[in-house]
Amino acid sequence: MLATSPPIQQFEATCRAQGLPVTVQRRRILEALLGRTDHPTPDQVYGTVKDTLPGVSRTTVYRVLEMLTSLGVLTRACSPGAATRVDPHTTRHHHLVCRRCDRLIDVGDAAVAHRIRPPDVRREGFAIEDYSIYFTGLCAACQETDTGSRRSGRPARRSGRKGKTAKRTAPRP
């Protein structure tokens, strides 16, 4: 029998506890995510697994990701205006979001995660169950693009996506 990693063992135990079968598709999709740090979209996950899972459909990948999220094996990482992504890092952490290329980066400073506290919303009758904060700005690659553009005299690009302009929003108070 092949050795399995702790996250795979946890996934298998969770499936058994919930009475769910551990299918080849579920296992391979989770394995494809575990080594990633780039917060892939479901379409990117499909692109990764389609060659190793002959006949797998895009719909199957979406359903498996949804099931893994509902089991708490993955989390959903969403920033306003960007595609939904999945994150195998399920402990509370925050993200940096590049406003130009939509890159999503985990904030690696555990001290930040422990210093940030949710607001007291009891007066509103709301019960916060979880939270994640997204800090927006420019990633190193986009900053370099800006610096290189200024040196060459070309204007900096507004968006990392061809043919689309960056969505502008008013700064938040």
Residue 17 falls within a domain, yes or no? yes
Task: Show the domain range for 58.
Answer: 6-77
Residues 6+ apart with CB under 8 A from 86: 33, 39, 40, 41, 42, 45, 65, 68, 69, 74, 75, 76, 77
- Mean pLDDT over residues 23-41, rounded? 90
Please indicate, yes or no, whether residues 22 and 72 belong to a single structural domain of this protein: yes
Residue 59 amino acid letter? T
- Identify whether 104 is part of a domain: yes
Q: Are 29 and 65 in contact (CB under 8 A)?
A: yes
CA Rg, the chain, in Å?
19
Work out how many domains the chain is built from and give that number: 2
Is residue 71 included in any domain, yes or no? yes
Query: Bigger pLDDT: 29 or 85?
Result: 29
Q: Is the domain of 23 the same as that of 56?
A: yes
Comparison of pLDDT for 79 and 15, the residue scoring more: 15
| Same domain flag for 17 and 69 | yes
Whether residue 166 is predicted with pLDDT greater than 50 in this model: the reply is: no
The answer to whether 157 touches 164, Cβ cutoff 8 Å, is: no
- Which of 77, 100, 135 is where one domain is finished? 77
If you average pLDDT over every residue of the chain, what do you get?
Answer: 80
The answer to whether residue 168 sits within a structural domain is: no
Which helix or strand (DSSP H or E) is residue 86 part of?
Answer: strand 85-87
pLDDT tens across 90-137, in order?
A: 777 888 888 888 888 888 777 776 787 888 999 999 998 888 788 889
Least confident piece of the model among 11-20, 30-39, 47-56, 88-97: 88-97
Confidence (pLDDT) at 63: 94
